[in-house]
Amino acid sequence: MSVKVAVLTGFGINCDRETAAVFEMAGAKSERIHVNKLVNGEIDLQDYHIMAVPGGFSFGDHLGSGRLMGNRLRFGLREQVRKFVNDKKPIIGICNGFQVLVKMGLLPGDDDISFEQTASLTLNDSGHYEDRWVTLEFEKDSHCIWTKGLTRMRVPVRHGEGKFVTNNKKLLDKWNENGQLVVRYVDPNQQYPSKSDELLPYPISPNSSWRNIAGVCDPTGLVFGLMPHPEANHSTWLGATWTRENLFHGEGEGMVIFHNAVNYAKSQFSIND
């Protein structure tokens, strides 16, 4: 048996192919599954070990990014998703997938998995959608199973609505204490570790996200979402400045995240393959 990954597709999800590919590169078996097949019961989510909500423009993001897809999952897959997390199975949302998980209330989430929205991702202060590479720094002591051992990573952001905010600032401190603020934008010219709550200037932080937050996890550390695209840096030749670097070509910096989840699933569910 291998680790099985359900990669959601449909309704404007765009990054399903590369997201499926990176899990395969990390040794899992991925399937691209149309959201409706899970909602109508044709496919049982519980047959999978990992769920991924890829990036894209679900429903065109016309009513706010991720909102309609978030509702489809919140209304159509509520119990299935809750059981998935209770079974200690990891979920990742990347870019639009992250927006979906936040809008449906799964991230930053709460202990009861109540699907109550407590944060949001709003329009970048720059006022526009943008594709540019950023440097991320990861929380050292987070219990997030996806980010274990990570320090820094270079990846592209490709979004217009990536500014992480909340209407209850006390929650920010709580999430911070819980180690849920797992990944932030940093200035690559600063020595590691340089994580800071001070707002970094554009374009080091591409969206003026509060506390430079690029991604968060839930209280269990199983559900993780981030605006940047680690799956877009799956190979060294996809880097922003690889032609300037002396490289031994192979897996790109983004792959660690996917290896982490696959390795976690292997050990958690005793899969030897």
Partner 1 sequence: MSSEIQRIEVTPRVGGGLRDVRGDTIKSQLKTDHNLEILEVRSVLGYQINHELSEVQLTKLVEDLFTDPVIEVGCFNTSIFDNKEAFSETPEAVITVGFKPGVTDNRATAALDGFTTIFPDLASKVKISTSVSYVFFGLGEVDLNWLADQLHNSLIETALIADSNDCAIGDWPEIQFPELKDIEYTPPSSIDLNVSDEELIEISEKGLLALNLEEMKAIQQNYLDKNVQARRKELGLPPDKPTDVELECLAQSWSEHCKHKIFAAKITHIDRETGENSEIDSLFKTYIMQPALDMQQEVNWLLSLFHDNSGVIEWTPEWSLCMKAETHNSPSALDPFGGAMTGIVGVNRDILGTGLGARPIANTDVFCFGPPDYDGHLPEGLFHPSRVMRGVHAGVRAGGNESGIPTVNGAIVFDERYIGKPLVYCGTVGILPRHLPDGRESHIKTPEPGNLIYMVGGRVGSDGIHGATFSSLELTDESPSSAVQIGDPITQKKMVDMLLEARDLGYIEVITDNGAGGLSSSIGEMAELTGGANLDLSKVPLKQLGLSPWEILVSESQERMTVGVDEKNKQAFEELAKLHEVEATIVGEFTNSGTFLVTYGKDVVADLPIEYLHDGCPQLNLESEWTSPIHRPIIFNEETSPKEMGNILQRLIARPNIASKEWWVRSYDHEVIGQSVIKPFGGVNHDAPGDAAVIAPIPGDTKGTVISCGIVPRYSDIDAYAMAAASVDEAVRNAVCVGVDLSRIAGLDNFCWPDPVQSKKTPDGRFKLAQLVRANRALEDVCRAYSLPCISGKDSMKNDATLDGEKISVPPTLLFSLMGNHQDVTKAISSDFKNIGDAIYLVGETKQELGASELAYMFQEESEGASGIGGNVPSIDTKRNLSAYKALTKAMHAGLVESAHDCSDGGLSVAIAESCFGIDAGAKIDVSSLLVSDDMLDSWGVLFGESLGRILVSVNPDSIEEFEKMMDGIFHEKIGTVGKNDELIIMNNESEILTASITELRESWKGTLDGGA
Task: Report the interface residues with partner 1, using CB under 8 A.
Answer: 9-15, 17-18, 21-22, 24-25, 34, 36-37, 55-57, 59-64, 67-68, 71-72, 75-76, 103, 117-120, 122-125, 127-133, 156, 158, 165-167, 210, 229, 231-232, 234-238, 240-241, 243-244, 249
Q: Which is nearer to partner 1, 192 or 237 (CB)?
A: 237
* Reduced 3-state DSSP string for 184-232: EEECCCCCCCCCCCCCCCCCCCCCCCHHHEEEEECCCCCEEEECCCHHH
Let me know the angle formed at the C-alpha of 152 by 53 and 143, rounded to the nearest 5 degrees: 60
Examine residue 230 and say whether the peptide bond preceding it is cis (omega within 30 degrees of 0). no
Least separation in angstroms between CB 83 and partner 1: 21
| Cα 272 from Cα 236, distance rounded (Å) | 28
Residues noted as catalytic: 95, 229, 231
Least separation in angstroms between CB 73 and partner 1: 10
Q: Which residue has the tokens 């050292």?
A: 140
Q: Which is nearer to partner 1, 177 or 249 (CB)?
A: 249
Contact of 80 with 127, CB cutoff 8 Å: no
Spell out the residues 6+ positions from residue 162 whose beta carbon is closer than 8 angstroms to its own.
Answer: 95, 121, 124, 206, 207, 209, 214, 227
Least separation in angstroms between CB 81 and partner 1: 16
Least separation in angstroms between CB 96 and partner 1: 10
Least separation in angstroms between CB 9 and partner 1: 7
Q: Which is nearer to partner 1, 235 or 268 (CB)?
A: 235
Q: Which is nearer to partner 1, 122 or 147 (CB)?
A: 122
Beta strand 183-186 with 213-217 is antiparallel
Q: Which is nearer to partner 1, 13 or 217 (CB)?
A: 13
Spell out the residues 6+ positions from residue 173 whose beta carbon is closer than 8 angstroms to its own.
Answer: none
